[in-house]
Amino acid sequence: MTTTHEHRRPDGERPGRPVAYGTMRGTGAEVEDGTGTGAEDGAGTRGKGLRPVPRPLHRGECRYLPQSPDARDRRHPVGRSPRAATAPIVIGNPAVFPGGTDADNCPAVRFARHDRPHRPPPPRKALPLHLAAADRAALRALLRERRAAVSPASLGFPPRQPGPGRRAAGLSQEQLDLLLERTPGTYNRFENGQLASPSAELLSAVATVLRFDEQEWVFLWRLTRRENPPSPLHRASGLSVPGEWQRVVDGISGALAYINDAEWNLLAHNKEFAALFPGGEPPANPMRWMLLDPQAREVVLADWARSWAPVVMPQLRHAVELRPENAALARLEDDVRRDPVAGPLYEAAASAPIAYPDGSERPLNHALYGPGWVTTCVAQPVTSPGARVMLLLYTPGDSLASRSSFPEAPQMS
């Protein structure tokens, strides 16, 4: 029969009212719901949808979980209470409660009404890998090659002792975790393409430790985040280009070609570009020349205030925003702001959209061929972000009769 006791729970909290404990002996259950009859056949619980209270177990407490219907039918005759078919779950050593206790006769079992049936949580689905198999292989090959090229001793790690252990050259994955200040295994998951959308901070740290160049930096972003990096990896990027570019520019004929760095310093040019200027001497900084030189504004660059300044000035403003620490760009912008002619136009162009020069057409006066138009074509060396390869296609005359010098492609039959 049901016995009512006022007792202290294992956590020391005294309940506000007496608690009824039902004995469960495999044939029935008497529970605390105000309707128990004390009958051994469990008639007070049949059909009432009762189940264990969903609360944490205390040490020494046990609960009974329903077993499968097959096990219930085998252990108990038809007509017995479903609550009698249970399996004990014991937390810690059983504590002594009023009425005695053991795993088969646990007095610390409480039931309450619960309308919704118990459902186990759905199985967790495995997250898909961020990268395809080919991309993961490319990322792994790049990072392993760069790890092998960096000596651990150059970063303060002691030399390896002879004996069993890792024999591969360069940094280990565990050393990368230490250098990146990440939890163990983070770099391993990153190298194997198992980190979905790695942060910009992680990419920058990995590229810095592994001494990436700008081309590898761009490749890393495009591979892992499907976008271009927001800024160059190195502050000095874009201030030089490989020497092969001078040979490329020298080999260009039929167009005015030059290369400037991220500060618009002239790095290379061909003879056609030099012939554009009076005296055949190109300026050391084309941007400074276009905005501040009186000869450029009044002679060479026709219709300067409307055709050149509104296109060129936003480019300078954008370059300063991308490289706020660059002193040369800051000085150039300050000189433009102070200029009585260019200054007001620069302030007016502050809110103008960035007009990139690729494909633009502007009038000019060629030193040898007179008035004409130039169509600009712009490219950027991958290893020198911020530097530009400029091609100017000159067409003499007051208007552009033909906007393309390329013949039409033959029609395929």
Per-residue pLDDT tens digits for 328-379: 999 999 999 999 999 999 998 877 776 667 788 999 999 999 999 999 999 9
Q: Same structural domain for residues 85 and 137?
A: no
Domain limits for position 32: 1-119
Distance CA(206)–CA(57), nearest Å, equals: 46
- Close Cβ partners of 383 (under 8 Å, ≥ 6 residues apart): 213, 214, 215, 241, 242
- Shortest CA distance to 5 belongs to which of 100, 95, 113? 100
- What CATH number is given to the structural domain containing 185? 1.10.260.40
Q: Same structural domain for residues 389 and 252?
A: yes
For the chain, the average pLDDT equals 75
Query: Would you say residue 303 lies in a domain?
Result: yes
Query: Would you say residue 235 lies in a domain?
Result: no
Mean pLDDT of 382-391: 89
Look at residue 8 and tell me whether its pLDDT is greater than 90. Answer: no
Q: What share of the chain is helix, strand, coil (3-state, %, to 5)?
A: 35, 15, 55
Query: Would you say residue 220 lies in a domain?
Result: yes
Asked if 403 contacts 391 with a C-beta cutoff of 8 angstroms, the reply is no
pLDDT band at 124 (very low <50, low <70, confident <90, very high): low
Per-residue pLDDT tens digits for 57-116: 454 444 444 444 444 444 444 444 444 444 444 444 444 444 444 444 444 444 434 445
Q: Same structural domain for residues 146 and 55?
A: no
Look at residue 256 and tell me whether its pLDDT is greater than 70. Answer: yes
- What CATH number is given to the structural domain containing 297? 3.30.450.180
Question: How many distinct structural domains can be found in the chain?
Answer: 3
pTM of the model: 0.56
Distance CA(62)–CA(51), nearest Å, equals: 14
Q: Same structural domain for residues 9 and 95?
A: yes
Asked if 357 contacts 286 with a C-beta cutoff of 8 angstroms, the reply is no
Look at residue 164 and tell me whether its pLDDT is greater than 60. Answer: yes
Consecutive H or E run containing 365? strand 361-366
Task: Tell me whether residue 341 is exposed, middle or buried, using C-beta atoms within 10 angstroms of its C-beta: 0 to 12, 13 to 18, 19 or more.
Answer: middle
The lowest-confidence range among 1-5, 185-189, 302-306 is: 1-5
- Close Cβ partners of 234 (under 8 Å, ≥ 6 residues apart): 214
The number of residues in the chain equals 413
Distance CA(164)–CA(156), nearest Å, equals: 22
Query: Would you say residue 184 lies in a domain?
Result: yes
